[in-house]
Structure 1
Amino acid sequence: MKESPPTANIAGLPIFEPPTMTAADPRRDAARPGGTQPSDTPAAPSRPSTRQLLAAMPPAHPIRSDSATGPTSANTTVDWSHVRELRQQAAAQLANRVDENTSEDERRAVGREVIAQLLDEHVRRAVTTGVPAISVDLQATLARAVFDALFGLGRLQPLVDDPSVENIEVYGAEPIVVIDGEGRISRRPAIVESNDELIDMLTFLASRGGASERTFSTASPSLHLHLHGGHRLAASGWTTNQPVVVIRRHRLVDIDLDDLIARGTLTDAAARFLRGAVRSRRSIVVSGSMGAGKTTLTRALANEIDPEEKLGTIETEYELGLHRMRDRHRRIIAWEARPGSGERGPDGRAIGEITLDDLVYDALRMNLDRLIVGEVRGREVLPMFKAMQAGAGSLSTIHAHGARAAIERLVTCAMEAGQHVAPEFAYRQIAQHVDLIVHVELRDATGNNPHDGVRDGGPPAPLRRRRQVTEIVALEPGERGMPAVTDVFVLGPDGQLVPESTPAWLARPIGAAP
């Protein structure tokens, strides 16, 4: 009679081990089949109880990789169609065991249990059908792949975990584009076999959000998500020639103005001025182009707020992440809008939609000291005006190529809300409620366009990028309600910020002794 090949208990794989266990920890050997006792007889696979599995599974994402493509990228050892099949089975079981009120940590704990059961059953079938045994290493790789597909981004997850990566771009089934923190561009193997596979991946990502579930379909062809870890995903399908995904990794989250001084983003004098402006409850708009560092600068400004102030943030998708820094913000409420489904109700609104306007209305009942509205891309500017009217010291960001251009951009966004918003109204709101516009740019080491010197193919071009605040302007009501602009800081001949003028509302000149 042919002897059955030895198998390993799935729950004993590294992905399911407690993170506190070390190689020297006696519990580690005890948790494995047979413990530390030698045996000549292969141990039959057995599944531990639910309680044992949950106790043995780490609470956070257990997968890390220092390589470019990570452990789950070995196409010679992992059948990705099998991974997708296991992910679908795991997702179906998970949906029956959790609901929208289940926390992310609890979802992941239950997910680990489900994956352990599925892989244990997979190994049992392999043994009983006489197919070649699945090695322990392959089981571990498969477990990681399924976990990443269920809770992460599948084959993209090792790149998302790589601290040197800043942007990831996916163009259908083509090789993906990776941009590091220095602006160097490289290409990595494709993560899907077809456009349909990428659509399926994005549809699953959109549907698994629980209370913040999104829709990605022909009726809703755009997708915007915040990922576990605070990163941002934007995707388009059907309206583009192929499905496209862009992931922006926020490498700098827990950061303040002193950190930006050290990185050359701000001068010490400009940082002192901005710190004083935040603490004196001036409302600030941060402007810049895409990827210039607006969100990072806004975080740094927000982190200068007194930790005991009651703070509210309102965003279309969580991106600032201030509610994850409870040592810096001890009394904070974070709201996130919801786009709703593609269907429309009797009032013309998408069913299930929660707008920023709705959230501002709710926030005004929460006795907040400050209300921050995140990125303004369009009609969000009206909730921003409302937040600034309700209380001083608000923060927002907007795409613009200069501080003065940001004023015109705010007006344009306001007019997108409808014909009832006149330009005069928008200018008056800006003049009355925006105190400062801080403009930040992305520059290479010579201060030129950051894409100069980047070449495709071969080794990446040597390039060093940095974010730099290039101007700070103050606003106040002028003639006919138009905003009067004062240049507070401008770039000097050496390319560094220098004081120019003192805002009328500042008690003493910039740089004067306190």
Structure 2
Amino acid sequence: MSADVTTDMVHAGAVPPGPDATPEAVDWTLVRRLHEVTAAALAEELKRRPTLSTVAQQELARTLVQDGLDELIRERMRAGQVVPSAAEERVIAEAVFAAQFGLGRLQPYVDDPAVENIEVHGHDNVWVGYADGRDVRVEAIADSDEDLVRQLQHIAARLGRAERTLTTASPLLTMRLPDGSRLAAVIETVPRPQLVIRRHRIRNVDLDDLVGLRALDRSLAQFLRAAIRARKNVVVTGAQGAGKTLLLRALANELPVEENLATIEKHFELLLHELPDRHPRVVPFEAREGTGERGPDGHRLGEVTLTELVEQALVMNVSRVWLGEVRGEEAWPLIEVMEAGEGGSACTLHARSAHHAFERLANLCMRGRAAVTPEHAYRSCASAIDLVVHLSTVDERWIGGERHRFVSQVLECNGIGEGGRPAVTEVFGPGPDGRAVPEHDPVDLADYVRVGFDPSWLRSGRGSWAGAAGGRR
């Protein structure tokens, strides 16, 4: 099992920090004062030395913060007041540094490996979701909603791969943070500022790791491993937060090391290019938002869409194209890649069931190409897609239980069936507890056997949960 997953499983049962998690109470008024002084000094220095590197800026900032703290201590000593302890100094200094170069008061939660999601509904209504399924309300992350908006504007300007804006004219913000987390914020169109940060805690993961986490059983792991080797086109479906990206990462880690792969995403989330030992030949594409101005073709100036990136990937000598998530008009070129290429492409898709995936994809194809008829869309989807793997979430926290995420169904697509819709075979279906168990042999079983799959996996696990040691059998 990979180190990342082992760490995650250890932290999943840890008690999450609450509102008073910091060792010392933080004087946020003092932090804001020192941050303002530090930011102003840094701005002046950048005017003199505009090429100053980020590392040099950070070193200078730490010196400025310490100078400010030293002056504060001298002032308080002269006035006969209590001075900060060494521990308090460290907490204040880190808070100022996080305000300038990180996420301010949110930084400790982003640094916590047990944190999975952060939701903000105004500066003083903040919820942190942990890996074990608990949601904990924590202290305010700003002095006011206006202060929160200022922080978000600072984050947008400094932390993205390209400078972003959050203003009355551009009230929507989506960006990738330096640690790979995805930040989405909204102002103006909502009564109070809204913010969500989704963290990708587990990056280096494979199918065996998911067996250990009881997201799938061994027979399904063997089948999906063979599907990747047999270059099957795979669509991973599920609701938001079901673990689609995690499963796609695990599937990617079953690829041969020497394989040349293109990943295409709105914002980097798969992060395969950050695992050079496993993926030394990955071409990572990320879409780019344009400016507020639009060109003659209606596109924002400087914009690079997912559709354009799919088309560009075809000339980059890659053997597979993996699209992080299909959301819009990029569905049609991806289906064309799957239909006409040598196979082995994959994507994720929001869908409430495996069967619903075909409806969603057909609708997206027609939305992206006005000339595509329903018949054409369904025929192309049926021709392009080999497998649909669906993830389910069962949340029983409201009755004192836990939240579970697992693969519940795998459909094999067998061309067009009755009514012009894709014909499917349910290779794996929900078992007694909802987790996928073998149901029927795939029509293309010979393709899986050819790459080393043992059909006995489909016989031994049929009708029961054949998971990791200690699981239901």
CA shift, 1:483, in A, is: 2.0
Change in CA separation of 1:390 and 1:511 when aligned onto 2, cut-off 3 Å? closer
- Counterpart position of 1:498: 437
| Cα-to-partner distance string for 1:164-212 (whole Å, 9 max, x where unaligned) | 2221110112231122222222211110122211111222222224643
- Off by >6 Å, runs of 4+ in structure 1: 131-134
Conserved? CA contact 1:91–1:150, under 8 Å: no
Instruction: Please give the alpha-carbon distance, in whole angstroms, between the structure 2 residues aligned to 1:156 and 1:82.
Output: 18
Conserved? CA contact 2:383–2:415, under 8 Å: yes
Match of 1:403, SS state, is coil
For normalisation by structure 2, the TM-score amounts to: 0.83
Instruction: Please give the alpha-carbon distance, in whole angstroms, between the structure 1 residues aligned to 2:65 and 2:35.
Output: 13
Could you tell me the percent identity over the aligned residues? 42
Instruction: Please give the alpha-carbon distance, in whole angstroms, between the structure 2 residues aligned to 1:476 and 1:237.
Output: 46
In structure 2, what residue type is equivalent to 1:436?
L
- Counterpart position of 1:364: 314
Matched, 1:275 2:213: no
Instruction: Please give the alpha-carbon distance, in whole angstroms, between the structure 1 residues aligned to 2:207 and 2:332.
Output: 28
- Counterpart position of 1:415: 366
- Counterpart position of 1:12: none
Conserved? CA contact 2:118–2:198, under 8 Å: yes
Conserved? CA contact 2:266–2:287, under 8 Å: yes
Change in CA separation of 1:194 and 1:390 when aligned onto 2, cut-off 3 Å? farther
Instruction: Please give the alpha-carbon distance, in whole angstroms, between the structure 2 residues aligned to 1:182 and 1:423.
Output: 43
CA shift, 1:390, in A, is: 4.1
Change in CA separation of 1:417 and 1:93 when aligned onto 2, cut-off 3 Å? farther
- Aligned alpha-carbon RMSD (Å): 2.9
Instruction: Please give the alpha-carbon distance, in whole angstroms, between the structure 1 residues aligned to 2:316 and 2:114.
Output: 39
Q: How does 1:276-291 map to 2 (within 5 A)?
A: 276-291=226-241
Match of 1:79, SS state, is helix
Instruction: Please give the alpha-carbon distance, in whole angstroms, between the structure 1 residues aligned to 2:228 and 2:404.
Output: 24
Instruction: Please give the alpha-carbon distance, in whole angstroms, between the structure 2 residues aligned to 1:98 and 1:488.
Output: 60
Conserved? CA contact 1:257–1:300, under 8 Å: yes
Conserved? CA contact 2:379–2:416, under 8 Å: no
Conserved? CA contact 1:373–1:387, under 8 Å: no
State which of 227, 238, 259 in structure 1 corresponds to 2:209: 259
Conserved? CA contact 2:266–2:306, under 8 Å: yes
In structure 1, what residue type is equivalent to 2:244?
K
Which range moves more in the overlay, 496-505 or 304-313? Answer: 496-505
CA shift, 1:88, in A, is: 3.5
Matched, 1:468 2:418: no
Change in CA separation of 1:72 and 1:350 when aligned onto 2, cut-off 3 Å? farther
- Counterpart position of 2:4: none
Which range moves more in the overlay, 385-394 or 90-99? Answer: 90-99
Change in CA separation of 1:89 and 1:222 when aligned onto 2, cut-off 3 Å? same
In structure 1, what residue type is equivalent to 2:363?
T
Matched, 1:89 2:89: no
Instruction: Please give the alpha-carbon distance, in whole angstroms, between the structure 1 residues aligned to 2:40 and 2:155.
Output: 15
CA shift, 1:163, in A, is: 1.9
Change in CA separation of 1:420 and 1:89 when aligned onto 2, cut-off 3 Å? farther
Change in CA separation of 1:159 and 1:126 when aligned onto 2, cut-off 3 Å? closer
Instruction: Please give the alpha-carbon distance, in whole angstroms, between the structure 2 residues aligned to 1:83 and 1:434.
Output: 57
**Greater relative contact order (Cα 8 A, min sep 6): structure 1 or 2?**
2
In structure 2, what residue type is equivalent to 1:88?
A
CA shift, 1:264, in A, is: 1.0
Instruction: Please give the alpha-carbon distance, in whole angstroms, between the structure 2 residues aligned to 1:141 and 1:249.
Output: 24
- Counterpart position of 2:423: 484
Structure 2 stretches lacking a partner, 5+ long: 1-14, 458-473
Instruction: Please give the alpha-carbon distance, in whole angstroms, between the structure 2 residues aligned to 1:202 and 1:275.
Output: 42
Change in CA separation of 1:323 and 1:94 when aligned onto 2, cut-off 3 Å? farther
Matched, 1:512 2:458: no
Match of 1:487, SS state, is strand
CA shift, 1:246, in A, is: 1.0
In structure 2, what residue type is equivalent to 1:420?
A
Which range moves more in the overlay, 503-512 or 232-241? Answer: 503-512
CA shift, 1:396, in A, is: 0.8
In structure 1, what residue type is equivalent to 2:381?
I
Change in CA separation of 1:266 and 1:83 when aligned onto 2, cut-off 3 Å? farther
Match of 1:477, SS state, is strand
Instruction: Please give the alpha-carbon distance, in whole angstroms, between the structure 2 residues aligned to 1:463 and 1:481.
Output: 42
CA shift, 1:319, in A, is: 0.6
CA shift, 1:382, in A, is: 2.8
- Counterpart position of 1:113: 59
| Cα-to-partner distance string for 1:323-343 (whole Å, 9 max, x where unaligned) | 111111111121111111222
CA shift, 1:354, in A, is: 1.1
Structure 1 stretches lacking a partner, 5+ long: 1-64, 444-448, 454-461
- Counterpart position of 2:111: 161
Which range moves more in the overlay, 131-140 or 495-504? Answer: 131-140
Match of 2:301, SS state, is coil
| Cα-to-partner distance string for 1:409-445 (whole Å, 9 max, x where unaligned) | 11222233253343233212211211111000112xx
In structure 2, what residue type is equivalent to 1:327?
D
- Counterpart position of 1:201: 151
Match of 2:311, SS state, is helix
CA shift, 1:255, in A, is: 0.8
| Cα-to-partner distance string for 1:241-290 (whole Å, 9 max, x where unaligned) | 21111111222221110011111111111111000001111111110011
